[in-house]
Chains A and B, each alone.
Chain A
Amino acid sequence: MSATPQLPPVAKLEQKTIVDMVARGKRMDDRGPESYRPIVIQSGVIEKANGSVHVSLGKSKVLVGVKVEVGEPFPDTPDEGVLTVNAELVPLASPMFEPGPPGEQAIELARVVDRGIRESKAIDVKSLVIQRGKKVQVVYVDVYVLDHDGNLIDAAAMAALGALVNAKVGKFEVKADEVVVKPGRHALPLNNYPVSVTVAKVGKTLLVDPSLEEEQVMSARLTVTTDKNGAICAMQKGGLSGFTVEELKRIVGLAVEKAVENRAKILAAAKG
Protein backbone atom coordinates (compact mmCIF):
# COMPACT_ATOMS: atom_id res chain seq x y z
CA MET A 1 0.00 0.00 0.00
CA SER A 2 1.46 3.34 -0.98
CA ALA A 3 1.05 6.30 1.37
CA THR A 4 1.74 10.03 1.23
CA PRO A 5 5.22 10.43 2.65
CA GLN A 6 6.16 12.36 5.79
CA LEU A 7 7.26 15.96 5.40
CA PRO A 8 10.95 16.36 4.65
CA PRO A 9 13.06 17.55 7.60
CA VAL A 10 13.56 21.05 6.17
CA ALA A 11 12.49 24.35 7.74
CA LYS A 12 9.87 26.34 5.81
CA LEU A 13 12.37 29.21 5.75
CA GLU A 14 14.96 27.12 3.92
CA GLN A 15 12.37 25.76 1.52
CA LYS A 16 11.36 29.34 0.72
CA THR A 17 15.01 30.32 0.23
CA ILE A 18 15.57 27.51 -2.24
CA VAL A 19 12.40 28.30 -4.20
CA ASP A 20 13.13 32.05 -4.25
CA MET A 21 16.70 31.58 -5.38
CA VAL A 22 15.73 29.07 -8.05
CA ALA A 23 13.15 31.53 -9.36
CA ARG A 24 16.04 33.98 -9.82
CA GLY A 25 18.02 31.32 -11.68
CA LYS A 26 20.34 30.44 -8.80
CA ARG A 27 20.75 26.95 -7.41
CA MET A 28 22.24 26.37 -3.96
CA ASP A 29 25.32 24.71 -5.43
CA ASP A 30 25.82 27.46 -8.03
CA ARG A 31 24.76 25.33 -11.00
CA GLY A 32 22.69 26.50 -13.89
CA PRO A 33 19.14 25.09 -14.08
CA GLU A 34 20.14 22.75 -16.89
CA SER A 35 23.44 21.49 -15.52
CA TYR A 36 24.34 18.18 -14.02
CA ARG A 37 26.46 17.97 -10.90
CA PRO A 38 30.01 16.64 -11.40
CA ILE A 39 29.85 13.02 -12.56
CA VAL A 40 32.65 10.62 -11.63
CA ILE A 41 32.53 7.12 -13.12
CA GLN A 42 34.73 4.23 -11.97
CA SER A 43 34.46 0.95 -13.81
CA GLY A 44 35.41 -2.61 -12.95
CA VAL A 45 35.39 -1.95 -9.21
CA ILE A 46 34.00 -5.37 -8.25
CA GLU A 47 36.09 -8.11 -9.85
CA LYS A 48 33.73 -10.90 -8.79
CA ALA A 49 30.93 -9.33 -10.79
CA ASN A 50 30.95 -9.77 -14.54
CA GLY A 51 30.70 -6.00 -14.82
CA SER A 52 30.52 -3.15 -12.34
CA VAL A 53 30.45 0.63 -12.31
CA HIS A 54 30.40 3.13 -9.44
CA VAL A 55 28.90 6.53 -10.24
CA SER A 56 29.24 9.64 -8.10
CA LEU A 57 26.67 12.23 -9.15
CA GLY A 58 27.54 15.18 -6.94
CA LYS A 59 27.44 13.57 -3.50
CA SER A 60 25.09 10.75 -4.53
CA LYS A 61 26.89 7.44 -4.95
CA VAL A 62 25.52 4.37 -6.68
CA LEU A 63 27.27 1.06 -7.36
CA VAL A 64 25.87 -1.38 -9.92
CA GLY A 65 27.08 -4.94 -10.36
CA VAL A 66 26.13 -7.15 -13.28
CA LYS A 67 26.27 -10.90 -12.91
CA VAL A 68 25.49 -13.31 -15.72
CA GLU A 69 24.43 -16.83 -14.78
CA VAL A 70 22.64 -19.74 -16.35
CA GLY A 71 18.92 -20.13 -15.78
CA GLU A 72 15.65 -21.00 -17.44
CA PRO A 73 13.86 -18.72 -19.86
CA PHE A 74 10.34 -17.49 -19.18
CA PRO A 75 7.80 -19.94 -20.63
CA ASP A 76 6.37 -17.41 -23.07
CA THR A 77 9.80 -16.41 -24.43
CA PRO A 78 11.74 -19.64 -24.89
CA ASP A 79 14.17 -18.03 -27.29
CA GLU A 80 15.19 -15.08 -25.14
CA GLY A 81 17.60 -14.60 -22.29
CA VAL A 82 16.42 -13.02 -19.05
CA LEU A 83 17.11 -9.53 -17.71
CA THR A 84 16.35 -8.75 -14.11
CA VAL A 85 17.01 -5.44 -12.35
CA ASN A 86 16.95 -5.11 -8.58
CA ALA A 87 17.68 -2.05 -6.42
CA GLU A 88 18.64 -1.79 -2.77
CA LEU A 89 18.38 1.49 -0.92
CA VAL A 90 20.64 0.24 1.83
CA PRO A 91 20.20 1.99 5.16
CA LEU A 92 23.76 3.28 5.26
CA ALA A 93 22.98 5.55 2.32
CA SER A 94 20.56 7.84 4.12
CA PRO A 95 18.98 8.40 7.54
CA MET A 96 15.66 8.00 5.71
CA PHE A 97 16.32 4.42 4.55
CA GLU A 98 15.34 1.56 6.84
CA PRO A 99 16.53 -2.04 6.63
CA GLY A 100 14.06 -4.49 5.17
CA PRO A 101 12.72 -5.63 1.82
CA PRO A 102 12.67 -3.02 -0.96
CA GLY A 103 10.01 -0.36 -0.42
CA GLU A 104 8.17 1.54 -3.12
CA GLN A 105 11.07 3.91 -3.76
CA ALA A 106 13.53 1.06 -4.40
CA ILE A 107 11.06 -0.83 -6.53
CA GLU A 108 10.21 2.20 -8.63
CA LEU A 109 13.91 2.88 -9.12
CA ALA A 110 14.58 -0.68 -10.25
CA ARG A 111 11.62 -0.79 -12.61
CA VAL A 112 12.45 2.55 -14.25
CA VAL A 113 16.05 1.49 -14.83
CA ASP A 114 14.77 -1.86 -16.13
CA ARG A 115 12.31 -0.19 -18.50
CA GLY A 116 15.06 1.89 -20.05
CA ILE A 117 17.21 -1.14 -20.76
CA ARG A 118 14.38 -3.43 -21.83
CA GLU A 119 12.37 -1.08 -24.02
CA SER A 120 15.42 0.23 -25.85
CA LYS A 121 16.33 -3.38 -26.56
CA ALA A 122 19.77 -2.55 -25.24
CA ILE A 123 20.63 -6.20 -24.76
CA ASP A 124 20.18 -8.58 -27.67
CA VAL A 125 18.30 -11.14 -25.60
CA LYS A 126 18.09 -13.62 -28.44
CA SER A 127 21.88 -14.01 -28.36
CA LEU A 128 21.64 -15.01 -24.70
CA VAL A 129 20.03 -18.35 -25.48
CA ILE A 130 22.13 -21.42 -24.72
CA GLN A 131 19.55 -24.15 -25.28
CA ARG A 132 16.23 -22.94 -26.66
CA GLY A 133 13.46 -23.33 -24.12
CA LYS A 134 15.76 -24.86 -21.52
CA LYS A 135 18.86 -22.85 -20.71
CA VAL A 136 19.58 -19.18 -21.20
CA GLN A 137 21.88 -16.54 -19.81
CA VAL A 138 20.26 -14.54 -17.00
CA VAL A 139 21.60 -11.02 -16.66
CA TYR A 140 21.27 -9.74 -13.07
CA VAL A 141 21.64 -5.99 -12.73
CA ASP A 142 21.92 -5.15 -9.02
CA VAL A 143 21.73 -1.48 -8.08
CA TYR A 144 23.28 -0.62 -4.72
CA VAL A 145 22.72 2.94 -3.53
CA LEU A 146 25.53 3.97 -1.17
CA ASP A 147 24.87 7.68 -0.56
CA HIS A 148 21.63 9.58 -1.24
CA ASP A 149 21.95 13.22 -2.20
CA GLY A 150 19.24 13.26 -4.82
CA ASN A 151 18.49 11.97 -8.31
CA LEU A 152 19.21 8.34 -7.62
CA ILE A 153 17.40 7.31 -10.81
CA ASP A 154 19.83 9.00 -13.17
CA ALA A 155 22.86 7.85 -11.18
CA ALA A 156 21.54 4.29 -11.09
CA ALA A 157 20.62 4.19 -14.76
CA MET A 158 24.05 5.55 -15.69
CA ALA A 159 25.83 3.00 -13.53
CA ALA A 160 23.63 0.18 -14.85
CA LEU A 161 24.39 1.05 -18.46
CA GLY A 162 28.05 1.34 -17.58
CA ALA A 163 28.09 -2.02 -15.83
CA LEU A 164 26.47 -3.69 -18.85
CA VAL A 165 29.04 -2.15 -21.16
CA ASN A 166 31.83 -3.08 -18.75
CA ALA A 167 30.67 -6.67 -18.34
CA LYS A 168 32.83 -9.53 -19.56
CA VAL A 169 31.36 -13.00 -19.84
CA GLY A 170 32.75 -16.41 -20.71
CA LYS A 171 31.41 -18.55 -23.52
CA PHE A 172 28.44 -20.77 -22.65
CA GLU A 173 28.18 -24.15 -24.38
CA VAL A 174 26.19 -27.32 -23.93
CA LYS A 175 28.30 -30.47 -23.47
CA ALA A 176 26.60 -33.77 -22.78
CA ASP A 177 23.40 -32.07 -21.73
CA GLU A 178 25.16 -29.84 -19.17
CA VAL A 179 26.05 -26.22 -19.56
CA VAL A 180 29.73 -25.49 -19.49
CA VAL A 181 31.35 -22.09 -19.21
CA LYS A 182 34.54 -21.77 -21.14
CA PRO A 183 36.71 -19.05 -19.68
CA GLY A 184 36.89 -15.98 -21.83
CA ARG A 185 36.17 -12.30 -21.76
CA HIS A 186 33.44 -11.46 -24.19
CA ALA A 187 31.25 -8.39 -24.02
CA LEU A 188 27.51 -8.70 -23.63
CA PRO A 189 25.62 -8.34 -26.92
CA LEU A 190 24.50 -4.71 -26.64
CA ASN A 191 22.62 -2.85 -29.35
CA ASN A 192 21.55 0.31 -27.61
CA TYR A 193 22.57 2.64 -24.81
CA PRO A 194 19.61 4.12 -22.90
CA VAL A 195 20.25 7.16 -20.73
CA SER A 196 17.76 8.67 -18.30
CA VAL A 197 17.49 12.36 -17.52
CA THR A 198 15.44 13.55 -14.55
CA VAL A 199 14.01 17.06 -14.32
CA ALA A 200 12.28 18.49 -11.25
CA LYS A 201 9.86 21.38 -11.03
CA VAL A 202 10.59 23.88 -8.24
CA GLY A 203 8.13 26.74 -8.23
CA LYS A 204 7.82 27.47 -11.95
CA THR A 205 11.42 26.53 -12.77
CA LEU A 206 12.57 23.28 -14.32
CA LEU A 207 15.81 21.93 -12.84
CA VAL A 208 17.89 19.16 -14.39
CA ASP A 209 19.45 16.67 -11.95
CA PRO A 210 17.78 17.71 -8.71
CA SER A 211 19.91 17.48 -5.56
CA LEU A 212 18.33 16.08 -2.39
CA GLU A 213 17.36 19.49 -1.03
CA GLU A 214 15.76 20.36 -4.39
CA GLU A 215 13.86 17.06 -4.34
CA GLN A 216 12.59 18.02 -0.89
CA VAL A 217 10.95 21.20 -2.21
CA MET A 218 9.98 20.10 -5.74
CA SER A 219 6.35 19.76 -6.74
CA ALA A 220 6.96 17.06 -9.36
CA ARG A 221 9.68 15.32 -11.33
CA LEU A 222 9.87 13.62 -14.68
CA THR A 223 12.41 11.05 -15.80
CA VAL A 224 12.80 10.61 -19.56
CA THR A 225 14.94 7.80 -20.90
CA THR A 226 16.13 8.08 -24.48
CA ASP A 227 18.11 5.70 -26.65
CA LYS A 228 21.07 6.24 -28.95
CA ASN A 229 18.78 7.56 -31.70
CA GLY A 230 17.07 10.09 -29.46
CA ALA A 231 13.89 8.02 -29.32
CA ILE A 232 12.08 7.92 -25.98
CA CYS A 233 11.97 4.44 -24.47
CA ALA A 234 10.76 5.14 -20.94
CA MET A 235 9.16 7.90 -18.92
CA GLN A 236 8.20 8.22 -15.30
CA LYS A 237 6.49 11.11 -13.54
CA GLY A 238 6.75 11.35 -9.76
CA GLY A 239 5.71 13.76 -7.04
CA LEU A 240 2.56 15.22 -5.56
CA SER A 241 1.82 17.74 -8.32
CA GLY A 242 1.99 17.70 -12.14
CA PHE A 243 3.31 19.24 -15.35
CA THR A 244 1.72 21.38 -18.07
CA VAL A 245 1.98 20.20 -21.66
CA GLU A 246 4.50 22.98 -22.44
CA GLU A 247 6.64 21.86 -19.52
CA LEU A 248 6.53 18.27 -20.73
CA LYS A 249 7.72 19.27 -24.18
CA ARG A 250 10.53 21.34 -22.73
CA ILE A 251 11.62 18.49 -20.49
CA VAL A 252 11.71 16.02 -23.36
CA GLY A 253 13.88 18.44 -25.33
CA LEU A 254 16.24 18.83 -22.37
CA ALA A 255 16.36 15.08 -21.86
CA VAL A 256 17.39 14.33 -25.42
CA GLU A 257 20.09 17.00 -25.27
CA LYS A 258 21.52 15.99 -21.88
CA ALA A 259 21.38 12.27 -22.65
CA VAL A 260 23.81 12.73 -25.52
CA GLU A 261 26.38 14.30 -23.18
CA ASN A 262 25.97 11.71 -20.46
CA ARG A 263 25.94 8.79 -22.87
CA ALA A 264 29.36 9.79 -24.16
CA LYS A 265 30.68 10.04 -20.61
CA ILE A 266 29.45 6.60 -19.59
CA LEU A 267 30.59 4.81 -22.72
CA ALA A 268 34.05 6.31 -22.44
CA ALA A 269 34.49 5.40 -18.80
CA ALA A 270 32.78 2.02 -18.74
CA LYS A 271 34.95 0.26 -21.24
CA GLY A 272 37.48 0.47 -18.40
Chain B
Amino acid sequence: MWEKLPETKPPELIDSKGFRADGRRLDQLRPIKLEVGILDKADGSAYVEQGKNKIMCAVYGPREAHPKHIALPDRAVIRCRYHMAPFSVDERKSPAPSRREMELSKVIRESLEPVVLADLYPRTTIDLFVEVLQSDGGSRCAGITGASLALADAGIPMTELVAACAVGKVQGQLALDLSDSEDKYGEADLPVAFVPNANLVTLLQMDGSLTTEEFEKGLGMALEACRTIHGLQREALKKKYHEMKDVVEEKEESEVVA
Protein backbone atom coordinates (compact mmCIF):
# COMPACT_ATOMS: atom_id res chain seq x y z
CA MET B 1 0.00 0.00 0.00
CA TRP B 2 1.48 3.28 -0.98
CA GLU B 3 -0.79 5.40 1.12
CA LYS B 4 -0.33 5.37 4.84
CA LEU B 5 -3.40 6.12 6.92
CA PRO B 6 -2.78 7.66 10.37
CA GLU B 7 -4.22 4.53 12.04
CA THR B 8 -6.16 1.83 10.26
CA LYS B 9 -9.41 2.48 12.07
CA PRO B 10 -12.67 2.24 10.16
CA PRO B 11 -14.56 5.54 9.96
CA GLU B 12 -17.56 5.99 12.22
CA LEU B 13 -20.32 4.68 10.00
CA ILE B 14 -23.33 5.40 12.22
CA ASP B 15 -23.26 8.12 14.85
CA SER B 16 -24.95 8.16 18.22
CA LYS B 17 -28.08 9.75 16.79
CA GLY B 18 -28.46 7.04 14.13
CA PHE B 19 -27.22 9.10 11.20
CA ARG B 20 -24.85 7.58 8.70
CA ALA B 21 -21.61 9.13 7.53
CA ASP B 22 -23.38 10.85 4.63
CA GLY B 23 -26.19 12.12 6.86
CA ARG B 24 -28.75 9.50 5.88
CA ARG B 25 -31.02 7.52 8.15
CA LEU B 26 -30.75 3.74 8.11
CA ASP B 27 -33.74 3.29 5.80
CA GLN B 28 -32.94 6.10 3.39
CA LEU B 29 -31.95 5.79 -0.27
CA ARG B 30 -29.21 7.96 -1.73
CA PRO B 31 -30.40 10.63 -4.18
CA ILE B 32 -31.20 9.02 -7.55
CA LYS B 33 -31.18 10.67 -10.95
CA LEU B 34 -32.37 8.78 -14.03
CA GLU B 35 -32.12 9.96 -17.64
CA VAL B 36 -33.29 8.03 -20.67
CA GLY B 37 -32.07 8.17 -24.26
CA ILE B 38 -28.88 10.19 -23.81
CA LEU B 39 -26.70 8.37 -26.33
CA ASP B 40 -27.07 8.87 -30.06
CA LYS B 41 -25.78 5.63 -31.56
CA ALA B 42 -27.17 3.05 -29.13
CA ASP B 43 -30.66 1.67 -29.80
CA GLY B 44 -31.56 2.43 -26.19
CA SER B 45 -29.68 4.13 -23.37
CA ALA B 46 -30.02 5.37 -19.82
CA TYR B 47 -27.79 7.20 -17.37
CA VAL B 48 -28.06 6.58 -13.63
CA GLU B 49 -26.68 8.54 -10.72
CA GLN B 50 -27.21 7.02 -7.29
CA GLY B 51 -25.19 8.75 -4.61
CA LYS B 52 -21.76 9.03 -6.22
CA ASN B 53 -22.41 6.16 -8.63
CA LYS B 54 -22.43 7.30 -12.25
CA ILE B 55 -23.43 4.60 -14.66
CA MET B 56 -24.08 4.63 -18.39
CA CYS B 57 -26.25 1.81 -19.73
CA ALA B 58 -26.92 1.04 -23.37
CA VAL B 59 -28.64 -1.57 -25.51
CA TYR B 60 -28.05 -2.66 -29.10
CA GLY B 61 -30.65 -5.01 -30.46
CA PRO B 62 -32.29 -7.08 -31.43
CA ARG B 63 -29.54 -7.41 -33.99
CA GLU B 64 -27.94 -10.08 -36.13
CA ALA B 65 -25.99 -12.61 -34.11
CA HIS B 66 -22.22 -12.34 -34.57
CA PRO B 67 -20.76 -14.95 -34.59
CA LYS B 68 -23.70 -16.89 -36.05
CA HIS B 69 -23.13 -19.99 -33.97
CA ILE B 70 -24.13 -18.36 -30.68
CA ALA B 71 -27.68 -17.75 -31.92
CA LEU B 72 -30.58 -19.70 -30.43
CA PRO B 73 -33.28 -21.03 -32.78
CA ASP B 74 -36.32 -19.91 -30.82
CA ARG B 75 -35.34 -16.77 -28.91
CA ALA B 76 -32.91 -13.88 -28.74
CA VAL B 77 -29.59 -14.37 -26.96
CA ILE B 78 -29.16 -11.71 -24.29
CA ARG B 79 -25.56 -10.66 -23.73
CA CYS B 80 -24.45 -8.39 -20.94
CA ARG B 81 -21.18 -6.68 -20.19
CA TYR B 82 -20.61 -4.93 -16.86
CA HIS B 83 -17.41 -2.94 -17.01
CA MET B 84 -15.76 -0.31 -14.82
CA ALA B 85 -13.79 2.63 -16.18
CA PRO B 86 -10.20 2.80 -14.89
CA PHE B 87 -10.94 6.12 -13.15
CA SER B 88 -14.18 4.94 -11.57
CA VAL B 89 -12.63 3.81 -8.30
CA ASP B 90 -10.24 5.23 -5.73
CA GLU B 91 -7.22 3.27 -6.96
CA ARG B 92 -6.99 3.22 -10.75
CA LYS B 93 -8.25 -0.04 -12.15
CA SER B 94 -6.80 -1.77 -15.19
CA PRO B 95 -9.29 -1.71 -18.06
CA ALA B 96 -8.95 -5.45 -18.61
CA PRO B 97 -12.06 -7.33 -17.38
CA SER B 98 -11.68 -8.71 -13.88
CA ARG B 99 -13.28 -11.84 -12.45
CA ARG B 100 -15.65 -9.64 -10.45
CA GLU B 101 -16.79 -7.87 -13.63
CA MET B 102 -17.42 -11.20 -15.30
CA GLU B 103 -19.49 -12.45 -12.36
CA LEU B 104 -21.50 -9.25 -12.24
CA SER B 105 -22.10 -9.41 -16.00
CA LYS B 106 -23.71 -12.79 -15.46
CA VAL B 107 -25.92 -11.94 -12.49
CA ILE B 108 -27.06 -8.71 -14.12
CA ARG B 109 -28.05 -10.58 -17.26
CA GLU B 110 -29.89 -13.15 -15.17
CA SER B 111 -31.77 -10.42 -13.31
CA LEU B 112 -33.21 -9.13 -16.59
CA GLU B 113 -33.78 -12.41 -18.47
CA PRO B 114 -37.15 -13.07 -16.79
CA VAL B 115 -38.73 -9.87 -18.13
CA VAL B 116 -37.44 -9.63 -21.70
CA LEU B 117 -39.84 -11.13 -24.26
CA ALA B 118 -36.92 -12.76 -26.06
CA ASP B 119 -39.13 -15.31 -27.84
CA LEU B 120 -40.21 -12.57 -30.22
CA TYR B 121 -36.74 -12.39 -31.80
CA PRO B 122 -35.32 -15.83 -32.54
CA ARG B 123 -31.76 -16.06 -33.87
CA THR B 124 -30.79 -12.55 -32.81
CA THR B 125 -28.81 -10.99 -29.97
CA ILE B 126 -29.81 -8.27 -27.54
CA ASP B 127 -26.61 -6.69 -26.23
CA LEU B 128 -26.60 -4.84 -22.91
CA PHE B 129 -23.72 -2.69 -21.76
CA VAL B 130 -23.31 -1.33 -18.25
CA GLU B 131 -20.38 1.09 -18.00
CA VAL B 132 -19.54 2.28 -14.52
CA LEU B 133 -18.01 5.72 -14.85
CA GLN B 134 -17.80 6.23 -11.11
CA SER B 135 -18.44 3.61 -8.46
CA ASP B 136 -19.48 4.08 -4.85
CA GLY B 137 -21.12 0.88 -3.68
CA GLY B 138 -24.23 -0.72 -5.15
CA SER B 139 -23.14 -0.27 -8.75
CA ARG B 140 -24.55 -3.60 -9.87
CA CYS B 141 -27.98 -2.62 -8.56
CA ALA B 142 -27.85 0.82 -10.10
CA GLY B 143 -26.66 -0.90 -13.28
CA ILE B 144 -29.73 -3.15 -13.33
CA THR B 145 -32.02 -0.16 -12.75
CA GLY B 146 -30.37 1.60 -15.72
CA ALA B 147 -30.22 -1.46 -17.95
CA SER B 148 -33.99 -1.95 -17.58
CA LEU B 149 -34.52 1.62 -18.73
CA ALA B 150 -32.14 1.18 -21.65
CA LEU B 151 -34.03 -1.96 -22.77
CA ALA B 152 -37.34 -0.12 -22.59
CA ASP B 153 -35.83 2.88 -24.39
CA ALA B 154 -34.69 0.56 -27.18
CA GLY B 155 -38.28 -0.53 -27.69
CA ILE B 156 -37.58 -4.11 -26.66
CA PRO B 157 -40.83 -5.56 -25.29
CA MET B 158 -40.63 -6.59 -21.65
CA THR B 159 -43.20 -7.63 -19.08
CA GLU B 160 -42.06 -4.93 -16.68
CA LEU B 161 -39.09 -2.92 -15.48
CA VAL B 162 -36.61 -4.40 -13.04
CA ALA B 163 -35.50 -2.25 -10.11
CA ALA B 164 -32.62 -3.15 -7.80
CA CYS B 165 -31.22 -2.03 -4.48
CA ALA B 166 -28.89 -3.39 -1.82
CA VAL B 167 -29.31 -3.65 1.93
CA GLY B 168 -26.49 -4.30 4.36
CA LYS B 169 -25.50 -4.53 7.96
CA VAL B 170 -23.43 -1.72 9.36
CA GLN B 171 -22.28 -1.60 13.00
CA GLY B 172 -24.84 -4.30 13.73
CA GLN B 173 -27.77 -2.47 12.15
CA LEU B 174 -29.58 -3.04 8.87
CA ALA B 175 -28.97 -0.16 6.47
CA LEU B 176 -30.42 0.51 3.02
CA ASP B 177 -28.37 1.28 -0.10
CA LEU B 178 -24.82 0.93 1.19
CA SER B 179 -22.12 3.30 0.08
CA ASP B 180 -18.66 2.01 -0.75
CA SER B 181 -17.16 2.53 2.71
CA GLU B 182 -20.24 1.06 4.40
CA ASP B 183 -19.83 -2.03 2.22
CA LYS B 184 -16.09 -2.20 2.88
CA TYR B 185 -16.31 -1.83 6.67
CA GLY B 186 -19.79 -3.29 7.20
CA GLU B 187 -20.78 -6.83 8.19
CA ALA B 188 -23.05 -7.88 5.34
CA ASP B 189 -24.15 -6.86 1.85
CA LEU B 190 -27.37 -8.08 0.22
CA PRO B 191 -28.06 -6.82 -3.32
CA VAL B 192 -31.61 -7.51 -4.56
CA ALA B 193 -33.49 -6.98 -7.84
CA PHE B 194 -37.27 -7.19 -7.94
CA VAL B 195 -40.17 -7.15 -10.39
CA PRO B 196 -43.33 -5.96 -8.61
CA ASN B 197 -46.14 -7.28 -10.89
CA ALA B 198 -44.77 -10.78 -11.09
CA ASN B 199 -43.62 -10.48 -7.46
CA LEU B 200 -40.30 -12.12 -8.27
CA VAL B 201 -36.82 -11.53 -6.93
CA THR B 202 -34.53 -11.82 -9.94
CA LEU B 203 -31.18 -10.92 -8.37
CA LEU B 204 -30.15 -12.11 -4.94
CA GLN B 205 -26.64 -12.23 -3.60
CA MET B 206 -25.26 -12.00 -0.16
CA ASP B 207 -21.91 -11.87 1.50
CA GLY B 208 -21.11 -11.39 5.18
CA SER B 209 -23.08 -12.63 8.11
CA LEU B 210 -26.82 -12.28 8.78
CA THR B 211 -29.24 -14.13 11.00
CA THR B 212 -32.34 -15.43 9.25
CA GLU B 213 -34.39 -12.70 10.95
CA GLU B 214 -32.00 -10.04 9.73
CA PHE B 215 -32.20 -11.48 6.23
CA GLU B 216 -36.01 -11.34 6.17
CA LYS B 217 -36.15 -7.85 7.58
CA GLY B 218 -33.41 -6.67 5.23
CA LEU B 219 -35.10 -8.23 2.23
CA GLY B 220 -38.29 -6.38 3.12
CA MET B 221 -36.39 -3.09 3.25
CA ALA B 222 -34.78 -3.78 -0.11
CA LEU B 223 -38.07 -4.68 -1.80
CA GLU B 224 -39.69 -1.49 -0.49
CA ALA B 225 -36.82 0.50 -1.95
CA CYS B 226 -37.15 -1.37 -5.26
CA ARG B 227 -40.79 -0.30 -5.44
CA THR B 228 -39.77 3.32 -4.93
CA ILE B 229 -37.09 3.04 -7.62
CA HIS B 230 -39.62 1.37 -9.93
CA GLY B 231 -41.81 4.46 -9.70
CA LEU B 232 -38.82 6.66 -10.54
CA GLN B 233 -38.03 4.48 -13.57
CA ARG B 234 -41.56 4.85 -14.95
CA GLU B 235 -41.42 8.61 -14.51
CA ALA B 236 -38.07 8.82 -16.27
CA LEU B 237 -39.36 6.84 -19.26
CA LYS B 238 -42.50 8.88 -19.65
CA LYS B 239 -40.87 12.23 -19.00
CA LYS B 240 -39.31 12.22 -22.44
CA TYR B 241 -42.57 11.83 -24.25
CA HIS B 242 -45.07 13.96 -22.47
CA GLU B 243 -47.00 16.63 -24.22
CA MET B 244 -45.23 19.43 -22.40
CA LYS B 245 -43.35 20.59 -25.47
CA ASP B 246 -41.53 23.53 -23.84
CA VAL B 247 -40.48 21.54 -20.83
CA VAL B 248 -39.15 18.82 -23.07
CA GLU B 249 -37.12 21.24 -25.19
CA GLU B 250 -35.80 23.10 -22.17
CA LYS B 251 -34.85 19.89 -20.44
CA GLU B 252 -33.05 18.59 -23.52
CA GLU B 253 -30.91 21.74 -23.53
CA SER B 254 -29.99 21.49 -19.86
CA GLU B 255 -29.06 17.85 -20.25
CA VAL B 256 -26.52 18.75 -22.90
CA VAL B 257 -24.86 21.70 -21.22
CA ALA B 258 -25.30 20.88 -17.51
Direct contact of A and B (CB under 8 A): yes
A residues whose Cβ falls under 8 Å from a Cβ of B: 40, 42, 45-49, 52, 56, 59, 61, 63, 65-67, 69-70, 86, 88, 90-95, 99, 101-102, 140, 142, 144, 146-149, 175, 178-181
From A67, A102, A146, A175, contact of B56 by CB (8 A): A146
A-B contact pairs, 13 of them (CB 8 A): A46-B87, A48-B135, A49-B87, A63-B133, A90-B83, A90-B129, A90-B131, A91-B81, A92-B42, A99-B83, A142-B85, A178-B4, A179-B2
Closest 8 CB pairs of A and B: A65-B87, A92-B58, A92-B129, A49-B87, A142-B86, A67-B92, A59-B40, A70-B2
**Interface SS of chain B: helix, strand, loop or mixed?**
loop
Bound form: Cα–Cα A221–B159 in Å: 47
Bound form: Cα–Cα A233–B40 in Å: 33
* Known contacts A46-B87, A90-B129; is-contact A142 B95 (Cβ 8 Å): yes
Contact (Cβ within 8 A) B86 A86: yes
Instruction: Tell me how far the C-beta of A36 lies from the nearest C-beta in chain B, rounded to whole angstroms.
Output: 16
Instruction: Tell me how far the C-beta of A84 lies from the nearest C-beta in chain B, rounded to whole angstroms.
Output: 10
Residues on the B chain within 8 Å of A93, using CB = 39, 41-42
**Interface SS of chain A: helix, strand, loop or mixed?**
strand
From B3, B42, B45, B86, contact of A67 by CB (8 A): B86
From B39, B135, B256, contact of A92 by CB (8 A): B39
From A69, A88, A178, contact of B95 by CB (8 A): A88
From B3, B91, B136, B258, contact of A42 by CB (8 A): B258
B60 interface residue (CB < 8 Å to A): yes
Contact (Cβ within 8 A) B127 A147: no
Interface positions, chain B 1-35, Cβ under 8 Å from A, are 2-4
Bound form: Cα–Cα A146–B92 in Å: 19
Instruction: Tell me how far the C-beta of B70 lies from the nearest C-beta in chain A, rounded to whole angstroms.
Output: 13
Residues on the A chain within 8 Å of B56, using CB = 92, 146
B96 interface residue (CB < 8 Å to A): yes
